Amino acid sequence: QVQLVESGGGLVKPGGSLRLSCAASGFTFSDYYMSWIRQAPGKGLEWVSYISSSGSTIYYADSVKGRFTISRDNAKNSLYLQMNSLRAEDTAVYYCALMTGWGQGTLVTVSS
Amino acid sequence: DVVMTQSPLSLPVTLGQPASISCRSSQSLVYSDGNTYLNWFQQRPGQSPRRLIYKVSNRDSGVPDRFSGSGSGTDFTLKISRVEAEDVGVYYCMQGTHWPWTFGQGTKVEIK
């Protein structure tokens, strides 16, 4: 059974940085593409970033391009999201997602 | 970006009655491989989203057969044949054909 556990969220000031992690289990992580998807409080879903199974193909939403970096370590069954130059509008629950399974999310709050 | 437009945004339904949600895309979702990457997700209150339907009409494992998806090109529908109490939540369509992947605004299903 797919298990995805995010960590690393928290309160950060505008302009600050955070690194989110996602620990995967229950499936062969290295066989699957992964995504980060976020949901601002009381709002809908926004896809943030995609990484292929090998890490060779990466895409970002325009809203985060140049500020966020997705990566993965297949040996550690882990997915990461390095978030720099954070803005108030980045405040959201961030989900690590394989389309057939999502984590519980980690809350990122950007506020002074 | 491909705009996904759902209707209605709010759907009060009577238990045991059918429900239908429409999703329209701003351009065709047929990919070069002939597949149409249109998914439906359910988000119950306080929970992470889960995928119900992939490639227009394929139910994910464990999804009750009262859920069905249909459509083609730019026009898609999610139907619930007989609404149960556990179906309360927000439903999102999502296209995975064009980068960036995009979600509809969400349709809130509640019991009358």
Q: What is the pLDDT of residues A35-72, one digit of tens each?
A: 999 999 999 999 999 999 999 999 999 999 999 999 99
Return the residue of B nearest to A41 by Cα.
B46
B80-95 per-position pLDDT tens digit: 999 999 999 999 999 9
Q: Residue A58 forms beta bridges with which residues?
A: A51
The residue whose two tokens read 């002939």 is B34
**Mean pLDDT in residue range B54-65:** 97
On whether any CB of chain A is under 8 Å from the CB of B54, the answer is yes
**Chain-wide mean pLDDT for chain A?**
97
Say yes or no for a CB contact (<8 Å) between A45 and B100. Answer: no
Does the pLDDT at position A8 exceed 90? Answer: yes
Res. A99: pLDDT tops 90: no
AA identity, residue B25: S
Q: In what order do the strands lie in the sheet with B67-72?
A: B4-7, B19-25, B75-80, B67-72
Cα distances (angstroms) measured from residue B97 to each of A63, B59, B109: 19, 18, 26
- Tens-place pLDDT, residues B1-47: 999 999 999 999 999 999 999 999 999 999 999 999 999 999 999 99
Please give the helix or strand (H or E) that residue B50 lies within, else none: strand B50-54
Under a CB-based contact definition with an 8 Å cutoff, are residues A106 and A93 in contact?
yes
CA distances from A46 to A43, A64, B104 (A): 9, 11, 9
Residue-level pLDDT at A65: 97
Give the whole-angstrom CA distance, residue B25 versus residue A17.
35
A53 at interface of B, judged by CB pairs closer than 8 A: no
What's the gap in Å between the CA of B15 and the closest CA on chain A?
25
Domain B4-111 is found in CATH 3.40.50.1110:
no
Mind telling me how many Å the CA of B107 is from chain A's nearest CA? 10
